[in-house]
């Protein structure tokens, strides 16, 4: 039996979030520097950022209810 702490999944989520932020900043930079300044580009940027904020807020709301010190047992056989 293997016991894995929930905190491990929080670290994995945090690393995925870091990768997402790096790619998002890279994409937003290129959109502002090389993109066309039009209503459609501003709308797309706003929707992207609003969606990101909503997902992060919901993640925080759900994640704050979890006791991250608990473990679960993985039984292989």
Q: What is the pLDDT of residues 10-64, one digit of tens each?
A: 999 999 999 999 999 998 888 878 877 788 888 888 999 999 999 999 999 999 9
Q: What is the pLDDT of residue 57?
A: 96
Q: What is the pLDDT of residue 65?
A: 93
| Number of domains the chain contains | 1
The count of other CB atoms within 10 Å of the CB of residue 7 is 14
Residue 2 in 3-state DSSP? strand
Q: Which residue has tokens 């066309």?
A: 36
Backbone angles phi, psi at 53, to 5 degrees: -65, -40
Q: Which domain holds residue 62?
A: 2-74
């Amino acid at each position: 039996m293997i016991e894995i702490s929930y905190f491990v999944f929080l670290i994995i989520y945090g690393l995925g979030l870091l990768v997402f932020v790096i790619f998002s900043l890279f994409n937003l930079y290129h959109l502002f520097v090389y993109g066309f300044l039009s209503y459609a580009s501003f709308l797309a940027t706003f929707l992207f950022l609003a969606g990101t904020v909503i997902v992060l807020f919901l993640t925080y709301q759900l994640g704050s209810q979890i006791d991250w010190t608990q473990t679960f047992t993985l039984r292989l056989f």
